[in-house]
Every structure is written in C-alpha cells, then in structure tokens.
Amino acid sequence: MQMPHQQVVAFVELKPGAVLVEHLSPYKRPARIEVIDAMPTTANGKLLKRELQARCRLAGG
C-alpha cells in the first residue's frame, strides 16, 4: 500500500510586535508557512485541526 504524499505546513498567528524569524536548519523547515489572523478554536479553546487541514486542501497542499 502506497502512502499519500504529505508535507509539513506551519500555521502562524502573529501577535503585535512579534517577529517571524527563520533560524531553523533546512531539514527542520516546513514546506509552507501560512500566516493567519487567528487560530480556529472551539468554545473551550481547543484547536480545530480539521479547519486547518481543510485550509491546506483548499490551498492545494
């Protein structure tokens, strides 16, 4: 059975005054970085991973 191709995508929510720094080794860098306004969460504050996955599918990744 062949596994589907997967890539690492980083979702980043920038805070006021935050700086996005790329000090990672090349092998640790995600394939794509997406800056979003806010992380999708439930009423209890848990991360909605399915919404992030759907965003990846819509973007073609």
Average pLDDT, the chain: 80
Residue 49 lies in a domain: yes
Closest listed residue to residue 32, CA positions, set 52, 56, 3: 56
Q: Is residue 29 part of a domain?
A: yes
pLDDT at 1: 53
Helix (H, G, I), strand (E, B) or coil at 21: coil
Of residues 2 and 60, the one with the higher pLDDT is: 60
So what's the pLDDT on residue 47? 94
1 in a structural domain: no
- Is the residue at 31 inside a domain? yes
Are 13 and 20 a contacting pair, CB within 8 Å? no
> Domain for residue 2, yes or no?
no
Whole-model pTM: value is 0.62
**Quick check: is 40 in a domain?**
yes
Q: How many domains does the chain have?
A: 1
What is the domain extent for residue 48? 9-58
What is residue 34's three-state secondary structure? strand
